[in-house]
Amino acid sequence: MKFPLKKFVFVAAILASIVLCGGLFLPEELIIPVKGATRADWNSKSFWFSPWGKSGVHKGIDIFAKEGTPVIAACSGLVVSAESNKDGGNVISVLGPKWRVHYYAHLKTLKVGSGEFVQQGSEIGTVGATGNAVGKAPHLHYAIITQIPYVWEYKSEKYGFERMFFLNPHEKLIQKTGRKN
C-alpha cells in the first residue's frame, strides 16, 4: 500500500492554517497576574510613561506586592521563554490568544519552563525584585507585546514606532468578578 504523501501534506497544511489563524480569533479575557492584587496595586498611568530609567519609556505596568506572592498566568498559552536577563531579571514570556506575548519580569522564582503550556490562573512564578529592579520595592512588571502592529498607536513622538507593538495592560486586565478595570 502506497502512503498518500500529497494528501497528508495538504491536510497538515489546512490544519496548521486553522491553528495559526485561529489564534487571532480566540477570546482574550485577561486576569490580573498577581494573586490577590487589584487595580489599586499599580499606577494606571505608568504605561508608556517617559522617562523611565534606562529604557526611556515604561512599556508595561508594575504590580506591587509582597515578595514571594504568586504570579499567575493572565491567560492560557505556551511558555516561549523562561530565563534570566540583565534588565528583566527572572522573566517569563507566554504566547497567548491573538498571538500576543505576555511578559512577566523581576520574578523571584520561575515555576515553569520553556515549552510548557500554562492555564489561565496557574502559578508561573513569584513576585520579586530582580534585574534592574534590585533595591526597589518587589513588583511584577507586566507587558503585552503584539505581533501585529497597532498602526493607529503610532505617534510622532520619540518612541512612536515601537509603541505600535505594546498594548496597555491596564486596559486589558479584568478583575475576577469579570469587570474590566
CATH code, domain carrying 140? 2.70.70.10
pLDDT in tens, 48-61: 655 555 556 668 88
Degrees (nearest 5) of the Cα angle 179, 170, 39? 60
pTM of the full structure: 0.79
Residue 36 lies inside a defined structural domain of this protein: yes
142 inside domain: yes
**Number of separate domains in the chain:** 1
Structural domain includes residue 1: no
pLDDT in tens, 80-123: 999 999 999 999 999 999 899 999 999 999 999 999 999 999 99
| Domain limits for position 101 | 27-174
Which DSSP symbol is given to 42?
S
Sequence letter at residue 97 = P
